[in-house]
Amino acid sequence: MAVAELRVSEIMAAIMNDLRKDLPGELGYKVLGVKDYLGGLDGFDSSDMLNFSLDNNCTMIIRPSGTEPIIKVYAKAIGSTAKEAEDKAAFTLAETMELLEARADKVRQSI
């Protein structure tokens, strides 16, 4: 009997590695810059986290959970009103989730 095992943590790591190798130029809005905390950055210890600055005054943070088999996405937005900020964050979050789903499909197909 042959047994194959693939851990969810390996899939999450592969998705994060794929993002690092092929950084998106857009997450609903143009990506202006990316901070990769894998080797430590800005006084923080090493962390498997990517921080995207977008041209709509949004920041998207993508990182694997340390306690659950999921990748977490955080959206921070600035708007002239709370509603505008919420709308920007919701749109950018939806676009980011679509990208992550596509990257997850790519990783699963390569397994």
CATH superfamily of domain region 8-110: Alpha-D-phosphohexomutase, C-terminal domain (3.30.310.50)
* pTM (predicted TM-score): 0.85
Give the residue extent of every domain in the chain.
8-110
Has residue 98 got a pLDDT over 50?
yes
Q: Which sign, positive or negative, has the C-alpha torsion 49, 62, 72, 80?
A: positive
Q: Model confidence over 4-59: pLDDT tens digits? A: 445 777 888 899 999 999 999 999 899 999 999 988 777 777 789 999 999 988 99
Q: Which residue has the tokens 């397994």?
A: 111
Tokens encoding 30: 């143009």
Cα distance between residue 73 and residue 48, in whole Å: 12
Nearest alpha carbon to residue 36 among 24, 22, 50, 54: 50
Cα distance between residue 78 and residue 57, in whole Å: 6
